[in-house]
Amino acid sequence: MALKYTAEHEWILADQGVATVGITHHAQDALGDVVFVELPEVGTHFDQGDVTGVVESVKAAADVYMPVSGEIVAVNDALRDTPALANTDPLGAGWFFKVRLSEPAQLDALMDETAYGDFAK
C-alpha cells in the first residue's frame, strides 16, 4: 500500500486492514515545535472525520482528525514523553496511532503523494 493523505494534513499507511496514522511533514512545519500530543484511547471507535486528539506547539493547537473509520488498536506512547518526534520524524517514529479499518474503501478517496504535494503548496 502507498501513503495516502487527508486535507487535514494527516498521512495514513494501510497494511492488511490496519493503518498507521500521523501528521505530515507540512503539518509539523506549519505548527512548529510540538510540545504536546493528546492521543485517543485504544479500543475506541471513530468515524471518518471525528476528532481523535490534539497536537500542540507553543504557539498553537490543532485537532487531529480520523482519516478513515475504525477502531484504535495502538497509540504511540513515545509521543507523550517526546512530542518532538512529530517534528523530527513525522512519517516514522512520530506516528500517532494505528486503526483497524471498518471501511477500507474510504482509503481510495484520499489523496496520493502527488495530489497532496499540490494541495499543500
Partner 1 sequence: MVPFAGYSMPVQYRQGLIAEHRHTRSQAGLFDVSHMGQLTLSGPQASLALESLIPMDVLGLAVGRQRYGLLLNDEGGVLDDLMFTRCADHLLLVVNGACKAADLAHLQARIGQRCRITPLDTHALLALQGPAAATALERVVPGVAALVFMSGGDFAWAGHALFITRSGYTGEDGFEVSVPRAGADALARALLAQPEVLPIGLGARNSLRLEAGLCLYGNELDAQTTPARAQLLWAVQKVRRTGGARAGGFPGAARVLHEIEHGCDRLRVGLLALERVPVREHTPLQDAAGQPIGEVSSGLLGPSVDRAIAMGCIDRRHADIGTQVVAMVRGKPVPMQVCALPFVPHRYYRG
In the complex, which residues of this chain contact partner 1 (CB under 8 A)? Answer: 32-33, 35-36, 38, 54, 56-59, 61
* Minimum CB distance to partner 1 smaller for 19 or for 55: 55
Q: How far is the CB of 108 from partner 1 (least distance, A)?
A: 32
Q: How far is the CB of 23 from partner 1 (least distance, A)?
A: 16
Buried b (16+ CB within 10 A) or exposed e, 52-77: bbebbbeeeebebbbbbbbbbeebbe
* Minimum CB distance to partner 1 smaller for 26 or for 100: 26
Pairing, β 18-23 against β 45-46:
unpaired
Alpha-carbon gap, residue 64 to 110, rounded angstroms: 16
Q: How far is the CB of 47 from partner 1 (least distance, A)?
A: 18
